[in-house]
């Protein structure tokens, strides 16, 4: 006896992910409104990036929901299911734990570099030296942007003390 695939319909799980993303965006926007907006001589302050992130999350959540409602993605093949990538999840969790644990001692730049390195590994990268260099460069630019341009301290550590 063969089982026919389920009839086409709204993919409620995908709609739920989109709605959850929009809810997260609303929470992020609410928290962004709690950040003092005192810029360094301009209307741009330390809350600008959180507002941009909140807006992008809301747009992505809406796009996910609309895509699921309009069924723009093909349904999964029969017998196909999403398996959890345990290796990738491990590397992501390790990166987050290292970042949370080390940011106070090692500083923003080194802990963010490790987070980037672990995230790249989670997505299958096998070039740790390149990933560390990219992560370091991004973290360094972010630190300079927040610390020097916005005057917002995001962690000081080994490398940050050199500036």
The per-residue pLDDT of the chain, averaged, comes to 83
Tell whether 90 and 158 lie within a shared domain. Answer: yes
Spatial distance between the Cα atoms of 142 and 109, rounded to a whole number of angstroms = 9
Which has more confidence, 32 or 75? Answer: 32
The number of folded domains in the chain is 2
75-92: average pLDDT: 76
- Provide the residue range defining the domain that includes 91: 86-162
Residue 122 domain flag: yes
Last residue of a domain, one of 20, 42, 70: 70
Residue 116 domain flag: yes
The band of 51, judged by pLDDT with boundaries at 50, 70 and 90, is confident
Q: Is residue 4 over pLDDT 50?
A: no
Tell whether 104 and 153 lie within a shared domain. Answer: yes
Spatial distance between the Cα atoms of 149 and 143, rounded to a whole number of angstroms = 9
**CB within 8 Å of 69: residues ≥ 6 apart:** 10, 15
Tell whether 110 and 153 lie within a shared domain. Answer: yes
């Amino acid at each position: 006896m063969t089982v026919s695939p389920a009839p086409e319909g709204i993919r409620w799980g995908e709609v739920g992910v989109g709605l959850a993303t929009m809810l997260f965006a609303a929470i992020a926007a609410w928290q962004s409104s709690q950040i003092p907006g005192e810029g360094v001589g301009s209307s741009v302050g330390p809350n600008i990036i959180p507002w941009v992130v909140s807006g992008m999350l809301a747009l992505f959540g809406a796009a996910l929901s609309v895509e699921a409602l309009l069924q723009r993605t093909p349904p999964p093949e029969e017998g196909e299911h999403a398996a959890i990538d345990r290796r990738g999840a491990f590397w992501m969790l390790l990166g987050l734990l290292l970042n949370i644990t080390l940011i106070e001692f090692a500083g923003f730049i080194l802990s963010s570099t490790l987070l980037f390195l672990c995230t790249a590994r989670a997505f299958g990268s096998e070039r740790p030296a390149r990933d560390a260099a990219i992560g370091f460069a991004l973290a360094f630019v972010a630190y300079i942007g927040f610390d020097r341009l916005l005057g917002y301290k995001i962690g000081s550590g080994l490398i940050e003390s050199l500036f």
